[in-house]
A and B are shown apart, each in its own frame.
Chain A
Amino acid sequence: MDISASDFLGFLNLNWQVVSMLAIGGFLIYLGTAKNVEPVILIPIGTGIMLANIPLGGMVDEGGLFAVLKEAGIQTELFPLLIFIGIGAMIDFGPFLERPYTILLGAVAQFGIFGTFFLAYLLGDGWLHIMDFSLKDAASIGIIGSADGPTSIYVSSVFQSKYAAAIVVAAYSYMALVPIIQPPIMRWLTTKRERRVEMPIKTDAVSRRTKIIFPIATVLIVCLIAPKATPLIGCLMFGNVLRECGVVERLSATAQNELTNVVTILLGLTVGGMMIASQFLKPETIIIFVMGIIAFALDTAAGVIFGKIMYILSGRKINPLIGAAGISAFPMSARVVQKMGLQENPHNHLLMHAVGTNTAGQIASVVAGGAMLMLIPLFS
Protein backbone atom coordinates (compact mmCIF):
# COMPACT_ATOMS: atom_id res chain seq x y z
CA MET A 1 0.00 0.00 0.00
CA ASP A 2 1.22 3.45 -0.93
CA ILE A 3 0.27 5.51 2.12
CA SER A 4 2.24 8.40 3.51
CA ALA A 5 1.88 9.97 6.95
CA SER A 6 0.60 13.20 5.42
CA ASP A 7 -2.51 11.34 4.26
CA PHE A 8 -3.81 11.02 7.80
CA LEU A 9 -1.82 13.40 10.01
CA GLY A 10 -3.26 16.90 9.82
CA PHE A 11 -0.23 18.80 11.12
CA LEU A 12 1.91 17.49 8.25
CA ASN A 13 -0.40 19.42 5.89
CA LEU A 14 0.00 22.76 7.61
CA ASN A 15 1.18 25.63 5.44
CA TRP A 16 1.26 29.41 5.94
CA GLN A 17 -2.20 29.87 4.44
CA VAL A 18 -3.79 27.34 6.79
CA VAL A 19 -1.93 28.74 9.80
CA SER A 20 -3.07 32.27 8.82
CA MET A 21 -6.71 31.15 8.69
CA LEU A 22 -6.43 29.38 12.05
CA ALA A 23 -4.98 32.62 13.46
CA ILE A 24 -7.81 34.69 11.93
CA GLY A 25 -10.38 32.31 13.44
CA GLY A 26 -8.67 32.52 16.80
CA PHE A 27 -8.51 36.32 16.55
CA LEU A 28 -12.28 36.57 15.90
CA ILE A 29 -12.96 34.34 18.92
CA TYR A 30 -10.62 36.59 20.95
CA LEU A 31 -12.44 39.74 19.74
CA GLY A 32 -15.79 38.21 20.68
CA THR A 33 -14.80 36.91 24.12
CA ALA A 34 -12.15 39.35 25.38
CA LYS A 35 -13.35 42.56 23.68
CA ASN A 36 -17.09 41.77 23.51
CA VAL A 37 -17.17 42.67 19.79
CA GLU A 38 -20.37 41.13 18.32
CA PRO A 39 -19.67 37.90 20.29
CA VAL A 40 -22.94 36.27 19.26
CA ILE A 41 -21.84 36.09 15.63
CA LEU A 42 -18.03 36.39 15.75
CA ILE A 43 -17.51 33.39 18.06
CA PRO A 44 -19.42 30.98 15.76
CA ILE A 45 -17.71 32.50 12.69
CA GLY A 46 -14.25 32.22 14.30
CA THR A 47 -14.92 28.63 15.31
CA GLY A 48 -16.22 27.84 11.83
CA ILE A 49 -13.04 29.26 10.26
CA MET A 50 -10.83 27.14 12.49
CA LEU A 51 -12.79 23.92 11.93
CA ALA A 52 -13.06 24.46 8.16
CA ASN A 53 -9.31 24.95 7.80
CA ILE A 54 -8.14 21.97 9.84
CA PRO A 55 -6.22 19.93 7.24
CA LEU A 56 -8.00 16.64 6.43
CA GLY A 57 -10.86 17.67 8.78
CA GLY A 58 -13.40 17.11 6.03
CA MET A 59 -15.83 19.75 7.29
CA VAL A 60 -16.11 21.43 3.89
CA ASP A 61 -15.80 18.32 1.74
CA GLU A 62 -18.87 16.93 0.03
CA GLY A 63 -21.21 15.62 2.71
CA GLY A 64 -19.25 17.41 5.45
CA LEU A 65 -21.16 19.45 8.04
CA PHE A 66 -20.29 22.86 6.62
CA ALA A 67 -20.94 21.76 3.04
CA VAL A 68 -24.40 20.52 4.06
CA LEU A 69 -25.17 23.68 6.04
CA LYS A 70 -24.02 25.89 3.18
CA GLU A 71 -26.21 24.07 0.71
CA ALA A 72 -29.23 24.00 3.01
CA GLY A 73 -29.00 27.43 4.61
CA ILE A 74 -26.99 29.82 2.45
CA GLN A 75 -27.52 28.69 -1.13
CA THR A 76 -31.25 28.43 -0.47
CA GLU A 77 -31.11 31.84 1.35
CA LEU A 78 -32.96 30.18 4.25
CA PHE A 79 -30.77 31.30 7.18
CA PRO A 80 -30.79 35.07 6.52
CA LEU A 81 -34.56 34.99 5.99
CA LEU A 82 -35.17 33.15 9.27
CA ILE A 83 -32.94 35.68 11.02
CA PHE A 84 -35.09 38.42 9.50
CA ILE A 85 -38.20 36.97 11.16
CA GLY A 86 -36.38 37.23 14.49
CA ILE A 87 -35.21 40.80 13.78
CA GLY A 88 -38.74 41.82 12.83
CA ALA A 89 -40.04 40.40 16.10
CA MET A 90 -37.41 42.39 18.02
CA ILE A 91 -37.99 45.77 16.36
CA ASP A 92 -40.39 48.30 17.84
CA PHE A 93 -41.38 50.59 14.97
CA GLY A 94 -43.09 52.93 17.47
CA PRO A 95 -40.34 55.62 17.60
CA PHE A 96 -40.21 55.54 13.80
CA LEU A 97 -44.00 55.79 13.35
CA GLU A 98 -44.07 58.71 15.78
CA ARG A 99 -41.53 60.54 13.61
CA PRO A 100 -42.36 59.64 9.99
CA TYR A 101 -39.91 62.21 8.55
CA THR A 102 -36.99 60.01 9.72
CA ILE A 103 -37.72 57.71 6.78
CA LEU A 104 -36.04 60.27 4.50
CA LEU A 105 -32.84 60.08 6.56
CA GLY A 106 -32.96 56.29 6.33
CA ALA A 107 -33.35 56.53 2.56
CA VAL A 108 -30.43 58.92 2.02
CA ALA A 109 -28.14 56.91 4.27
CA GLN A 110 -28.29 54.03 1.79
CA PHE A 111 -26.08 56.02 -0.56
CA GLY A 112 -23.06 54.14 0.81
CA ILE A 113 -24.39 50.95 -0.81
CA PHE A 114 -24.57 52.46 -4.27
CA GLY A 115 -21.45 54.64 -3.95
CA THR A 116 -19.37 51.64 -2.88
CA PHE A 117 -20.90 49.47 -5.59
CA PHE A 118 -19.83 52.07 -8.14
CA LEU A 119 -16.26 52.22 -6.78
CA ALA A 120 -15.94 48.42 -6.65
CA TYR A 121 -17.18 48.10 -10.21
CA LEU A 122 -14.70 50.77 -11.38
CA LEU A 123 -11.85 48.80 -9.77
CA GLY A 124 -13.10 45.62 -11.41
CA ASP A 125 -14.78 44.88 -14.71
CA GLY A 126 -16.20 48.41 -15.07
CA TRP A 127 -12.99 50.25 -15.88
CA LEU A 128 -9.60 49.56 -14.28
CA HIS A 129 -9.69 45.73 -14.18
CA ILE A 130 -7.32 45.78 -11.17
CA MET A 131 -9.62 43.47 -9.20
CA ASP A 132 -11.65 40.46 -10.21
CA PHE A 133 -14.98 42.16 -9.46
CA SER A 134 -17.92 41.46 -11.76
CA LEU A 135 -21.09 43.59 -11.70
CA LYS A 136 -22.67 41.07 -9.29
CA ASP A 137 -19.58 41.00 -7.07
CA ALA A 138 -19.56 44.81 -6.98
CA ALA A 139 -23.25 44.83 -5.97
CA SER A 140 -22.54 42.27 -3.24
CA ILE A 141 -19.62 44.40 -1.97
CA GLY A 142 -21.78 47.54 -2.05
CA ILE A 143 -24.41 45.84 0.09
CA ILE A 144 -21.93 45.86 3.02
CA GLY A 145 -23.21 49.45 3.28
CA SER A 146 -26.61 48.09 4.30
CA ALA A 147 -24.90 47.61 7.68
CA ASP A 148 -27.05 44.56 8.03
CA GLY A 149 -25.58 41.05 8.15
CA PRO A 150 -28.60 39.07 6.89
CA THR A 151 -29.16 41.46 3.94
CA SER A 152 -25.48 41.13 3.00
CA ILE A 153 -25.68 37.33 3.15
CA TYR A 154 -28.93 37.25 1.21
CA VAL A 155 -27.83 39.52 -1.64
CA SER A 156 -24.35 38.02 -2.00
CA SER A 157 -25.75 34.48 -2.01
CA VAL A 158 -28.45 35.32 -4.58
CA PHE A 159 -25.69 36.79 -6.78
CA GLN A 160 -23.49 33.77 -5.98
CA SER A 161 -20.55 36.08 -5.30
CA LYS A 162 -17.26 34.30 -4.76
CA TYR A 163 -16.52 36.87 -2.05
CA ALA A 164 -19.66 36.16 0.03
CA ALA A 165 -17.73 35.06 3.11
CA ALA A 166 -15.44 38.11 3.17
CA ILE A 167 -18.44 40.40 2.56
CA VAL A 168 -20.39 38.94 5.47
CA VAL A 169 -17.44 39.11 7.88
CA ALA A 170 -16.77 42.71 6.80
CA ALA A 171 -20.45 43.63 7.33
CA TYR A 172 -20.58 42.15 10.84
CA SER A 173 -17.15 43.48 11.84
CA TYR A 174 -17.91 47.05 10.80
CA MET A 175 -21.30 46.95 12.50
CA ALA A 176 -19.39 46.35 15.71
CA LEU A 177 -17.00 49.18 14.81
CA VAL A 178 -19.76 51.77 14.25
CA PRO A 179 -18.84 53.60 17.51
CA ILE A 180 -15.33 54.09 16.06
CA ILE A 181 -16.17 54.77 12.39
CA GLN A 182 -19.06 57.23 12.79
CA PRO A 183 -18.07 59.88 15.40
CA PRO A 184 -15.16 61.49 13.47
CA ILE A 185 -17.34 61.85 10.34
CA MET A 186 -20.26 63.23 12.37
CA ARG A 187 -17.99 65.75 14.10
CA TRP A 188 -16.27 66.73 10.86
CA LEU A 189 -19.52 67.43 9.01
CA THR A 190 -21.37 69.36 11.73
CA THR A 191 -20.77 72.52 13.72
CA LYS A 192 -20.94 72.69 17.50
CA ARG A 193 -24.12 74.77 17.21
CA GLU A 194 -25.80 72.10 15.07
CA ARG A 195 -24.77 69.31 17.44
CA ARG A 196 -26.27 71.19 20.40
CA VAL A 197 -29.77 71.44 18.92
CA GLU A 198 -32.27 70.03 21.42
CA MET A 199 -35.15 67.92 20.17
CA PRO A 200 -38.31 67.21 22.21
CA ILE A 201 -38.41 63.73 23.75
CA LYS A 202 -42.21 63.40 23.66
CA THR A 203 -44.13 63.16 20.43
CA ASP A 204 -47.68 62.10 19.54
CA ALA A 205 -48.15 58.43 20.42
CA VAL A 206 -49.29 56.00 17.73
CA SER A 207 -52.12 53.56 18.23
CA ARG A 208 -51.73 49.80 18.45
CA ARG A 209 -53.84 49.44 15.32
CA THR A 210 -51.36 51.62 13.41
CA LYS A 211 -48.52 49.40 14.62
CA ILE A 212 -50.35 46.32 13.29
CA ILE A 213 -51.41 47.88 9.98
CA PHE A 214 -47.94 49.33 9.31
CA PRO A 215 -46.03 46.07 8.65
CA ILE A 216 -48.84 44.66 6.51
CA ALA A 217 -49.18 47.85 4.45
CA THR A 218 -45.37 48.08 4.12
CA VAL A 219 -45.18 44.57 2.70
CA LEU A 220 -47.85 45.41 0.12
CA ILE A 221 -46.27 48.72 -0.92
CA VAL A 222 -42.63 47.58 -1.01
CA CYS A 223 -43.28 44.19 -2.61
CA LEU A 224 -45.59 45.49 -5.32
CA ILE A 225 -42.99 48.09 -6.37
CA ALA A 226 -39.80 46.07 -5.75
CA PRO A 227 -40.94 42.42 -5.81
CA LYS A 228 -37.38 41.11 -5.45
CA ALA A 229 -37.41 42.49 -1.91
CA THR A 230 -40.40 40.28 -1.01
CA PRO A 231 -38.48 37.53 0.86
CA LEU A 232 -36.54 40.07 2.95
CA ILE A 233 -39.30 42.55 3.75
CA GLY A 234 -41.90 39.78 4.00
CA CYS A 235 -39.95 37.91 6.70
CA LEU A 236 -39.01 41.12 8.54
CA MET A 237 -42.60 42.32 8.69
CA PHE A 238 -44.00 38.86 9.48
CA GLY A 239 -41.82 38.87 12.59
CA ASN A 240 -43.11 42.35 13.40
CA VAL A 241 -46.75 41.31 13.01
CA LEU A 242 -46.08 38.48 15.49
CA ARG A 243 -44.79 41.11 17.90
CA GLU A 244 -47.47 43.73 17.46
CA CYS A 245 -50.66 41.71 17.06
CA GLY A 246 -50.53 40.86 20.76
CA VAL A 247 -52.23 37.47 20.48
CA VAL A 248 -49.27 35.20 19.67
CA GLU A 249 -46.79 36.12 22.36
CA ARG A 250 -45.38 32.59 22.38
CA LEU A 251 -44.52 32.79 18.67
CA SER A 252 -43.10 36.28 19.06
CA ALA A 253 -40.89 35.18 21.95
CA THR A 254 -39.76 32.10 20.00
CA ALA A 255 -38.87 34.22 16.94
CA GLN A 256 -36.94 36.68 19.12
CA ASN A 257 -35.07 34.06 21.12
CA GLU A 258 -34.96 30.38 20.16
CA LEU A 259 -35.29 30.82 16.38
CA THR A 260 -32.78 33.66 16.19
CA ASN A 261 -30.32 31.92 18.50
CA VAL A 262 -30.41 28.58 16.68
CA VAL A 263 -30.09 30.17 13.23
CA THR A 264 -27.35 32.52 14.43
CA ILE A 265 -25.27 29.53 15.56
CA LEU A 266 -25.81 27.73 12.25
CA LEU A 267 -25.28 30.88 10.18
CA GLY A 268 -22.11 31.87 12.00
CA LEU A 269 -20.58 28.41 11.69
CA THR A 270 -21.53 28.20 8.01
CA VAL A 271 -20.11 31.63 7.16
CA GLY A 272 -16.91 30.73 8.98
CA GLY A 273 -16.89 27.43 7.12
CA MET A 274 -16.94 29.33 3.83
CA MET A 275 -13.63 31.02 4.65
CA ILE A 276 -11.22 28.51 3.21
CA ALA A 277 -7.57 29.62 2.96
CA SER A 278 -7.33 29.21 -0.81
CA GLN A 279 -10.46 31.31 -1.41
CA PHE A 280 -10.06 33.89 1.37
CA LEU A 281 -6.37 34.86 1.31
CA LYS A 282 -6.47 37.05 -1.79
CA PRO A 283 -5.78 40.76 -2.43
CA GLU A 284 -9.50 41.13 -3.19
CA THR A 285 -10.35 40.31 0.45
CA ILE A 286 -8.30 43.28 1.69
CA ILE A 287 -9.96 45.55 -0.89
CA ILE A 288 -13.40 44.29 0.23
CA PHE A 289 -12.59 45.27 3.82
CA VAL A 290 -11.43 48.72 2.65
CA MET A 291 -14.62 49.05 0.61
CA GLY A 292 -16.63 48.15 3.72
CA ILE A 293 -15.22 51.14 5.62
CA ILE A 294 -15.91 53.38 2.62
CA ALA A 295 -19.52 52.11 2.52
CA PHE A 296 -20.10 52.84 6.21
CA ALA A 297 -18.42 56.26 5.90
CA LEU A 298 -20.52 57.23 2.85
CA ASP A 299 -23.71 56.07 4.61
CA THR A 300 -22.88 58.19 7.64
CA ALA A 301 -21.84 61.24 5.61
CA ALA A 302 -24.94 61.12 3.40
CA GLY A 303 -27.23 60.81 6.44
CA VAL A 304 -25.57 63.69 8.30
CA ILE A 305 -25.51 65.97 5.23
CA PHE A 306 -29.21 65.34 4.66
CA GLY A 307 -29.72 65.95 8.37
CA LYS A 308 -28.12 69.36 7.86
CA ILE A 309 -30.55 70.09 5.04
CA MET A 310 -33.45 69.12 7.34
CA TYR A 311 -31.91 71.29 10.08
CA ILE A 312 -32.11 74.30 7.79
CA LEU A 313 -35.55 73.48 6.34
CA SER A 314 -37.04 72.89 9.81
CA GLY A 315 -35.84 76.23 11.10
CA ARG A 316 -33.03 74.65 13.12
CA LYS A 317 -35.31 72.27 15.00
CA ILE A 318 -33.79 68.98 13.76
CA ASN A 319 -30.37 67.97 15.04
CA PRO A 320 -28.36 66.79 11.99
CA LEU A 321 -26.58 64.16 14.09
CA ILE A 322 -29.64 61.90 13.91
CA GLY A 323 -28.93 61.47 10.17
CA ALA A 324 -25.98 59.24 11.12
CA ALA A 325 -28.47 56.71 12.53
CA GLY A 326 -29.92 56.20 9.04
CA ILE A 327 -27.30 53.47 8.71
CA SER A 328 -29.20 50.40 9.79
CA ALA A 329 -26.64 49.14 12.33
CA PHE A 330 -29.30 48.74 15.00
CA PRO A 331 -29.04 49.92 17.77
CA MET A 332 -25.35 50.87 17.80
CA SER A 333 -25.61 53.96 15.58
CA ALA A 334 -28.56 55.30 17.61
CA ARG A 335 -26.44 54.96 20.75
CA VAL A 336 -23.54 56.77 19.04
CA VAL A 337 -25.87 59.70 18.19
CA GLN A 338 -27.26 59.83 21.74
CA LYS A 339 -23.75 59.81 23.22
CA MET A 340 -22.45 62.59 20.99
CA GLY A 341 -25.58 64.70 21.56
CA LEU A 342 -25.13 64.41 25.33
CA GLN A 343 -21.43 65.27 25.08
CA GLU A 344 -22.33 68.56 23.38
CA ASN A 345 -25.38 69.37 25.49
CA PRO A 346 -26.18 67.45 28.71
CA HIS A 347 -29.93 68.18 28.25
CA ASN A 348 -30.02 66.79 24.73
CA HIS A 349 -31.61 63.34 24.54
CA LEU A 350 -31.63 62.31 20.90
CA LEU A 351 -32.04 58.58 21.49
CA MET A 352 -35.67 58.12 20.43
CA HIS A 353 -35.21 60.28 17.33
CA ALA A 354 -32.10 58.29 16.45
CA VAL A 355 -33.90 54.97 17.08
CA GLY A 356 -36.67 56.14 14.72
CA THR A 357 -34.08 56.94 12.05
CA ASN A 358 -32.32 53.66 12.76
CA THR A 359 -35.43 51.55 12.15
CA ALA A 360 -36.16 53.63 9.04
CA GLY A 361 -32.65 52.68 7.90
CA GLN A 362 -33.47 49.02 8.50
CA ILE A 363 -36.44 49.19 6.12
CA ALA A 364 -34.49 51.33 3.64
CA SER A 365 -31.57 48.89 3.56
CA VAL A 366 -33.92 46.03 2.73
CA VAL A 367 -35.47 48.11 -0.05
CA ALA A 368 -31.94 48.90 -1.29
CA GLY A 369 -31.15 45.17 -1.31
CA GLY A 370 -34.32 44.55 -3.33
CA ALA A 371 -33.39 47.36 -5.72
CA MET A 372 -29.99 45.77 -6.29
CA LEU A 373 -31.54 42.35 -6.88
CA MET A 374 -33.92 43.89 -9.39
CA LEU A 375 -31.50 46.19 -11.26
CA ILE A 376 -28.32 44.10 -11.55
CA PRO A 377 -29.85 41.33 -13.73
CA LEU A 378 -31.20 44.03 -16.06
CA PHE A 379 -27.67 45.29 -16.77
CA SER A 380 -25.74 41.98 -16.60
Chain B
Amino acid sequence: MLDALWIVLLGMAMIFAVLGILLGMMILLNKLIKPEKED
Protein backbone atom coordinates (compact mmCIF):
# COMPACT_ATOMS: atom_id res chain seq x y z
CA MET B 1 0.00 0.00 0.00
CA LEU B 2 2.87 2.33 0.79
CA ASP B 3 4.29 1.57 -2.65
CA ALA B 4 1.05 2.70 -4.27
CA LEU B 5 1.11 5.91 -2.26
CA TRP B 6 4.65 6.60 -3.44
CA ILE B 7 3.58 6.00 -7.04
CA VAL B 8 0.73 8.51 -6.62
CA LEU B 9 3.02 11.15 -5.12
CA LEU B 10 5.89 10.62 -7.56
CA GLY B 11 3.52 10.42 -10.53
CA MET B 12 1.82 13.73 -9.75
CA ALA B 13 5.20 15.32 -8.97
CA MET B 14 6.54 14.15 -12.32
CA ILE B 15 3.53 15.57 -14.19
CA PHE B 16 3.95 18.94 -12.48
CA ALA B 17 7.70 18.97 -13.09
CA VAL B 18 7.37 18.19 -16.81
CA LEU B 19 4.43 20.49 -17.41
CA GLY B 20 6.00 23.23 -15.29
CA ILE B 21 9.03 23.21 -17.59
CA LEU B 22 6.69 23.21 -20.60
CA LEU B 23 4.90 26.23 -19.14
CA GLY B 24 8.22 28.06 -18.77
CA MET B 25 9.11 27.16 -22.35
CA MET B 26 5.77 28.41 -23.67
CA ILE B 27 6.07 31.72 -21.84
CA LEU B 28 9.60 32.11 -23.21
CA LEU B 29 8.49 31.25 -26.77
CA ASN B 30 5.63 33.74 -26.59
CA LYS B 31 8.03 36.44 -25.38
CA LEU B 32 10.78 35.73 -27.89
CA ILE B 33 8.70 35.11 -31.01
CA LYS B 34 6.07 37.67 -31.81
CA PRO B 35 3.46 36.98 -34.51
CA GLU B 36 4.49 38.24 -37.90
CA LYS B 37 2.15 40.20 -40.13
CA GLU B 38 1.32 37.19 -42.31
CA ASP B 39 0.38 35.20 -39.18
Listed in ascending order, the chain A residues whose CB lies under 8 Å from chain B are 97, 100-101, 103-104, 106-107, 110-111, 113-115, 117-118, 121-122, 126-127, 135, 138-139, 204-210, 213-214, 217-218, 221-222, 225-226, 360, 363-364, 367-368, 371-372, 374-376, 379
State whether B29 touches A107 (Cβ < 8 A): no
State whether B33 touches A375 (Cβ < 8 A): no
- Across the interface, name the chain A residue whose C-beta is closest to B8: A114
State whether A379 touches B3 (Cβ < 8 A): yes
Q: Give, as a whole number of angstroms, the nearest-CB distance from B17 to chain A.
A: 7
State whether B18 touches A100 (Cβ < 8 A): no
The majority secondary structure among interface residues of chain A is helix
Question: Which of B11, B27, B30 has the most A CB atoms < 10 Å from its CB?
Answer: B11
Asked if A110 meets B30 with Cβ closer than 8 Å, knowing A103-B19, A117-B4, A367-B18, the reply is: no
State whether B19 touches A104 (Cβ < 8 A): yes
State whether A122 touches B35 (Cβ < 8 A): no
State whether B4 touches A221 (Cβ < 8 A): no
State whether B21 touches A221 (Cβ < 8 A): yes
- A105–B6 alpha-carbon span in the complex (Å): 22
The majority secondary structure among interface residues of chain B is helix
State whether A364 touches B15 (Cβ < 8 A): yes
- A114–B5 alpha-carbon span in the complex (Å): 9
Chain B residues, Cβ within 8 Å of A126: 1, 3-4
Q: Which 5 A-B pairs have the closest CB atoms?
A: A100-B26, A207-B35, A114-B8, A379-B3, A371-B11
State whether A371 touches B14 (Cβ < 8 A): yes
- A44–B19 alpha-carbon span in the complex (Å): 35
State whether B18 touches A222 (Cβ < 8 A): yes
- A110–B19 alpha-carbon span in the complex (Å): 12
State whether B33 touches A110 (Cβ < 8 A): no
State whether A209 touches B33 (Cβ < 8 A): yes
State whether B30 touches A371 (Cβ < 8 A): no
State whether B1 touches A122 (Cβ < 8 A): yes
State whether A225 touches B12 (Cβ < 8 A): no
- A121–B26 alpha-carbon span in the complex (Å): 36
- A225–B17 alpha-carbon span in the complex (Å): 9
- Across the interface, name the chain A residue whose C-beta is closest to B35: A207
Chain A residues, Cβ within 8 Å of B26: 97, 100, 103, 214
Chain B residues, Cβ within 8 Å of A139: 7
State whether B7 touches A117 (Cβ < 8 A): yes
State whether A375 touches B29 (Cβ < 8 A): no
State whether A225 touches B11 (Cβ < 8 A): no
- Across the interface, name the chain B residue whose C-beta is closest to A106: B19
- A103–B29 alpha-carbon span in the complex (Å): 15
Question: Which of A111, A209, A213 has the most B CB atoms < 10 Å from its CB?
Answer: A209
Chain B residues, Cβ within 8 Å of A135: 3-4
Residues B22-39 near A (CB distance < 8 A): 22-23, 25-27, 29-30, 33-36, 39
State whether A217 touches B6 (Cβ < 8 A): no
Chain A residues, Cβ within 8 Å of B22: 103, 218, 221-222, 363
- A225–B19 alpha-carbon span in the complex (Å): 11
State whether A376 touches B7 (Cβ < 8 A): yes
Chain A residues, Cβ within 8 Å of B16: 107
Chain A residues, Cβ within 8 Å of B3: 126, 135, 379
State whether A127 touches B19 (Cβ < 8 A): no
A-B contact pairs, 10 of them (CB 8 A): A103-B19, A103-B23, A107-B15, A114-B8, A126-B3, A204-B30, A207-B33, A363-B22, A364-B15, A375-B11
Q: CB < 8 Å: which of A97, A206, A368 contacts B15?
A: A368
Q: Give, as a whole number of angstroms, the nearest-CB distance from A284 to chain B.
A: 18
Chain B residues, Cβ within 8 Å of A127: 1
Q: Give, as a whole number of angstroms, the nearest-CB distance from B7 to chain A.
A: 5
- Across the interface, name the chain A residue whose C-beta is closest to B17: A225
- Across the interface, name the chain B residue whose C-beta is closest to A209: B33
State whether A364 touches B14 (Cβ < 8 A): no
Chain A residues, Cβ within 8 Å of B25: 217-218, 221
State whether A104 touches B18 (Cβ < 8 A): no
